[in-house]
Amino acid sequence: MLDYIIIGSGLAGISFAEVALKNNKSILVIDDKSKVSSIVAGGLYNPVILKRFSEVWNAEEQLVLMEEFYNQIETKLQVKVNFKLPILRKFFSIEEQNNWFSASDKPLLSPFLSTKLIFKKYFGIDSPFDYGEVLNTGYVDTALLLDKYQEYLIGQEQLLQESFQYDKLITNNDFVQYKDFQARNVIFAEGFGMHSNPFFQNLPLDGTKGELFIIKAPELALDVIVNTSVFILPLGNNLFKVGATYNWKDKTDTVTEEGKTELVERIKEILNCDFEVVSHFGGVRPTVRDRRPIIGTHYEHESLHLLNGLGTRGVMLGPAMAKDLFDFIENKKPLDPVIDIQRFYKKRK
């Protein structure tokens, strides 16, 4: 009998898979890779919400767990996926500079916001008001990470590449049966695909569509991530990832002319050099209105668990949320009420 069947092999799914394997648990991951928003994610990690100059929830703890997690993955897979790069916030006014310095005085933000302005000029970007540097930042190559981790699971015969059929799942008192497999627990880590899941589909998971570009800009001399109305992330070979849009109505992965126009206009506001769009892609982020993940156990079926709602910060949240759910299931360690699925189940009563 397996310890865990994990549905989904995006950031949430592989985060839980890795935590389970580290603790010597047997797993099977099931995914047909048809709905993996993690593949098209920006992959940035940043402990500060720059739009509001506020701290990401539990940022310090998440960064520690994230560092350990990706170091472990890189050693295991023999591939580099975690790239530490400064994020520079381009200021558009003296007022924005002042807001930055005010935020850097706050105890929760001071470890993450440098008080030294960055005066360096990057060819291709006008910066009359200079930049502020966010500390402890970088990006994870999510597409490479997921590809290599899935290869690893295939090699271990721990990945079943097919669509999960909910009607084939039989729940018993202390285990579940799925086709020829028996397991003590099932972890649903399906992202926005949760809306097809009859056990959890009534939970308030909002999908927020994002569209991104890969652009080529030979004149753009950039060795840092620049954050303005969009982020610009250097990939090497004159290529840059740029994003992202936010669309709360469209729940498809299809790229749109509206998204393309919006991104092109924003890029032109920042860059004063030529660029061409090489790739245009989109995905639906699994977001929750209260900006917290949804973690926990089904109100009726004790063997069915959810790991979802990682939103735009999956590379930071995934390792921490997977550990919290594992500790909850195996060690009965209570979940933080702000992420606990019970916050929604209470409303059923």
Q: In a structure prediction context, what are the per-residue pLDDT tens digits for the chain, which is 349 residues long?
A: 999 999 999 999 999 999 999 999 999 999 986 655 665 678 999 999 988 888 899 999 999 999 999 999 999 999 999 999 999 999 999 999 999 999 999 999 999 999 999 999 999 999 999 999 999 999 999 999 999 999 999 999 999 999 999 999 999 888 999 999 999 999 999 999 999 999 999 999 988 899 999 999 999 989 999 999 899 999 999 999 999 998 989 988 899 999 999 999 999 999 999 999 999 999 899 999 888 999 999 999 999 999 999 988 999 999 999 999 999 999 999 999 999 999 999 766 5
65 assigned to some structural domain:
no
Last residue of a domain, one of 286, 308, 339: 286
In this predicted structure, what is the pLDDT of residue 40?
64
169 assigned to some structural domain:
yes
Last residue of a domain, one of 286, 302, 335: 286
In this predicted structure, what is the pLDDT of residue 102?
94
Same domain membership, residue 272 and residue 151: no
> 213: domain CATH number?
3.30.9.10
Same domain membership, residue 184 and residue 219: no
Of 211, 309, 300, 306, the closest CA to residue 264 belongs to: 211
Same domain membership, residue 129 and residue 217: yes
Last residue of a domain, one of 240, 260, 286: 286
46 Cβ neighbours under 8 A, 6+ residues apart: 56, 87, 134, 137, 227
Q: Under a CB-based contact definition with an 8 Å cutoff, are residues 324 and 336 in contact?
A: yes
Same domain membership, residue 282 and residue 213: yes
- 159-160 and 169-171: which strand pairing? unpaired
58 assigned to some structural domain:
no
The CA distance from 209 to 252, in Å, is 7
Range of the domain at 246: 85-137+206-286
Same domain membership, residue 162 and residue 92: no
Tokens of 260: 């393309």
51 assigned to some structural domain:
no
The CA distance from 153 to 77, in Å, is 11
In this predicted structure, what is the pLDDT of residue 111?
94
- Give the number of other CB atoms < 10 A from CB of residue 53: 18
55 assigned to some structural domain:
no
Same domain membership, residue 295 and residue 280: no
13 assigned to some structural domain:
yes
User: DSSP letters along 65-114, please?
Assistant: HHHHHHHHHHHHHT---EEE--EEEEP-SHHHHHHHHHHHTSTTTTTTB-
72 assigned to some structural domain:
no
Same domain membership, residue 304 and residue 252: no
Residue showing tokens 């921490």 = 320
Same domain membership, residue 197 and residue 296: yes
> 340: domain CATH number?
3.50.50.60
Same domain membership, residue 321 and residue 277: no
Q: Under a CB-based contact definition with an 8 Å cutoff, are residues 239 and 214 in contact?
A: yes
Same domain membership, residue 294 and residue 217: no
Per the structure, the count of domains in the chain is 2
In this predicted structure, what is the pLDDT of residue 35?
54
Same domain membership, residue 216 and residue 169: no
181 assigned to some structural domain:
yes
Tokens of 137: 């930042």
Same domain membership, residue 280 and residue 294: no
